[in-house]
Amino acid sequence: MIPALEKPVTYIKGIGPKKAELYAKLGISTGYDLLCHFPRDYIDFSQPCEIASAPLEEPCVVRARLVKKLAPAFIRRGMTIYKAVLTDDTADLTLMIFNAEFLFRSLVERKEYILYGKMSGNFLRREMSSPMIIPADSPDLIQPLYHLTDGLSQNVLRQNIHSVLSSIGGDIYEPLPKRITEKYNLCSLDYAFENIHFPRDAHSLAVAKRRLVFEELMTLRLGMRLLKNRSITVTGCTMTPADLTEYYSSLPFELTGCQQRAIAECCADMCRSYPMNRLIQGDVGSGKTAVAAGAAFFAARSGYQTALMAPTEILASQHYETLKGFLEPLGIKVALLTGSLTPKNKAALKEQIKNGEYGVVVGTHALVQQTTEFSRLGLVITDEQHRFGVGQRETLASKGENPHKLVMSATPIPRTLAMMIYGDLELSVLDELPKGRQKIETYAVTGKLRQRALGFVRDRLDEGRQGYIVCPMIEENDMELKNATDYAEKLASNEFRAYRVGLLHGKMPAADKDRVMRSFKEHELDLLVSTTVVEVGVDVPNAVIMVVENADRFGLSQLHQLRGRVGRGSYQSYCILITDNVTEDSIRRLKILSSTSDGFKISEEDLKLRGPGDFFGSRQHGLPKMKIADMSSDTELLQLAQQAADEIIASDPTLDSTENKGLRELAEKLFERGTEA
Ligand code: ADP
Ligand code: MG
């Protein structure tokens, strides 16, 4: 990095403290940040259309000769309209400019201009008001468009970025090693910055963009690999192979092929001399718990304890029940550590854990992680559901002698993305559901059918079943969204007067949430009205119907997760997605859910439709924010960049060589920048 680029933006010509504040709003504090504020789009002035056939009421580019300037019209004080007539020989065009006298004066009759703006009028009379205008002989025919903030205009940004570029005069430090730029045919960073902001032509722009995307993806991959290498230390918990038949035959069902494979992969990992760092990725209901229990069984046979951490108390007690059922018949004692234990009982339990009486300890993250001592901890399992962050994982270990780590995630992720997101983990995928799973009948309907849908819910409740009604998060400034609280009250006093209705939302204290969830589980409530908090893996087999309000507000993967809350028992289950947004797009999106129950397929569609930024509905993948790469469309580059990164890491695992120093800086910077949260 050259020092000039590290300085605050106020060092740049034309930027004072006021503008610096505005830039801060865009997250820009240095010259380098400004260079990395890449255009969100471009206007291509090199491809004009004919005035006569230009589409009306949409932005377009036309190229025309100025025929005549007309006399200005003074509308009122402070409002003058300047008009001129232009032609491209297919039709005439009236140009209207409000107040910008200086611009108007600069226009010259008989000269050609290129205009970008919205065409209005009709077939006989065409007009454009306040378009962007450049002379037809301008060398800059592709103009960048930036994300702005109030008080900063496109022009100001262009000028400021131009100042930065000319101040460093093509003297940018090149972070990529020469053999990489050569092998992958990448342009220099100078060229890339210059042409991403001021492209000479479409080709230069493509070349510049390719380089920057490549660099960003490669940096991401390098960062993930650095994290992974950091965690390769020696473990004091190398286990010995053991026969799993006893575990398999004690289960009330036969494990699927992929469950068995996942268990085998875990066992192999745990027999090595360095810690396992593995993710089990499986759709809702794919049976991750049985895999976790298998790994815990294996660890116990080698004399090691397992800790299983869940995000909420209710999930912890659910896992506890399951693991107890699976493991205690085999002589492995399971403990549950929760906040609701009395201090005395808690202390006693902890003492027993410390003495090694329990083979498995289940609890919430906070309890197990911070305050518990083990006699021989060998395996740490985390149930993260979809709540998954890169940074979070780093803190998990640090107990015992570098225990093995296993993470469970219920978010199916397209392969390409998984490679990136889980680049620091080994991956076991459960892509096959246990036999005999019923399909959840899913319908996408408009609000017109709401009353019928609610009637259908009542019918199920009358049969003794339970149901969920989910509405998006409470967002105060969005009146259209159904506020969960109000909505629950309305439902409770009208449509569901005769039933027991509970409310669950994200802003409730954890203890209250647990209480409500528990009474729903115990069937003290018939209907649960909730925001998305319900999606965290709670198992209530008697719940058979879910209605989702404003369903188009959710990502497909998120809806799929939500839907996984029903269909967990033997009853036919239903999911009704209500949306008042009846655009073809939103209906098409929701129809995908009625047509398939394959979480991986759904996630591919989601990625295509919404891009990775929104992938988890609320951006929870924990990856650093991308500035230019788009992991859903840049898949070819993604693979090349991964390949390049893996080559580099193979020869220099910690990026310590002089040649790779720049890359290391980039990777550290990227992960410093924070995650998409
Ligand atoms: P998830 O992957 O969503 O955490 P769970 O582990 O909660 O799934 O399993 C869902 C249900 O399926 C549980 O009731 C579990 O006992 C059951 N199950 C798990 N594996 C199998 C299998 N191979 N055959 C039949 N049922 C299974
Ligand atoms: Mg689960």
Q: Give pLDDT tens digits for 244-294.
A: 999 999 999 999 999 999 999 999 999 998 889 888 988 878 899 999 999
Q: Does one domain contain both 412 and 490?
A: no
- From CA 423, how far away is CA 16, in angstroms rounded? 42
Q: Using the 8-state DSSP alphabet, how is residue 256 labeled? A: P
Q: Which of 137, 159, 185 is the last residue of a domain?
A: 137
pTM of the model: 0.68
Task: Provide the residues around ligand 2 (an ion) whose CB is within 5 A.
Answer: 537
- Is the C-beta atom of 285 inside 6 A of ligand 1? yes
pLDDT tens digits for 557-594?
A: 888 888 988 988 889 999 999 988 778 778 888 889 99
Task: Find the distance separating the first CA and the last CA of the chain, reported in whole Å.
Answer: 28
Task: Identify whether 4 is part of a domain.
Answer: no
Q: Does one domain contain both 473 and 553?
A: yes
CA of 537 to the centre of ligand 2 (A): 5
pLDDT at 619: 42
Q: Which two tokens stand for residue 498?
A: 């005769």
CA of 408 to the centre of ligand 2 (A): 8
Predicted confidence band of residue 602 (pLDDT cuts 50, 70, 90): confident
pLDDT at 435: 81
Q: Does one domain contain both 300 and 394?
A: yes
More confident residue, 27 or 605: 27
Q: Which two tokens stand for residue 327?
A: 């493991």
pLDDT at 120: 92
Q: Give the CA distances from residue 186 to residues 200, 533, 606, in Å, rounded to whole numbers and listed in that order.
A: 17, 45, 31
Predicted confidence band of residue 635 (pLDDT cuts 50, 70, 90): confident
Task: Identify whether 97 is part of a domain.
Answer: yes
Task: Identify whether 448 is part of a domain.
Answer: yes
pLDDT tens digits for 407-437?
A: 888 777 776 677 666 766 788 889 888 887 7
Q: Which of 137, 161, 186 is the last residue of a domain?
A: 137
- From CA 88, how far away is CA 52, in angstroms rounded? 9
Are the beta carbons of 64 and 126 closer than 8 angstroms?
no
Predicted confidence band of residue 300 (pLDDT cuts 50, 70, 90): very high
Task: Identify whether 127 is part of a domain.
Answer: yes
Q: Give the CA distances from residue 320 to residues 7, 251, 323, in Å, rounded to whole numbers and listed in that order.
A: 55, 16, 5
Please tell me the number of the ligand nearest to residue 308's CA. Answer: 2
CA of 154 to the centre of ligand 2 (A): 49
User: By alpha-carbon position, which residue is closest to atom 10 of ligand 1?
Assistant: 285
Ligand 1 mutation target, pool 247, 248, 250, 253, most atoms within 8 A of CB: 253
Please tell me the number of the ligand nearest to residue 536's CA. Answer: 2
DSSP-assigned beta bridge partners for residue 134: 114
- Lookup result for tokens 């000479």: 200
- From CA 601, how far away is CA 603, in angstroms rounded? 5
More confident residue, 623 or 310: 310
* pLDDT beyond 70 at 217: yes
Q: Does one domain contain both 505 and 588?
A: yes
pLDDT at 415: 66
Are the beta carbons of 38 and 27 closer than 8 angstroms?
no
Q: Which two tokens stand for residue 601?
A: 């397929």
% residues pLDDT > 70 (the chain)? 87
Q: Using the 8-state DSSP alphabet, how is residue 532 labeled? A: G
pLDDT at 432: 85
Q: For residue 606, give the nearest of 574, 661, 558, 656 by alpha carbon.
A: 558
Give the domain range for residue 461.
441-596
Structural element, H or E, at residue 85: strand 79-87
Q: Which stretch of 197-206, 251-260, 468-477, 595-604 has the lowest confidence by average pLDDT? A: 468-477
pLDDT at 394: 45
Q: Does one domain contain both 422 and 463?
A: no
Q: Does one domain contain both 559 and 484?
A: yes
Task: Identify whether 393 is part of a domain.
Answer: yes
Q: What is the mean pLDDT of the chain?
A: 85
Q: Where are the beta strands (DSSP E) in 391-440?
A: 404-409, 426-430
Q: Does one domain contain both 298 and 416?
A: yes
Q: Does one domain contain both 530 and 492?
A: yes
Task: Identify whether 21 is part of a domain.
Answer: no
pLDDT at 503: 87
- What atom of ligand 1 comes closest to residue 292's alpha carbon? 6
User: By alpha-carbon position, which residue is closest to atom 16 of ligand 1?
Assistant: 287
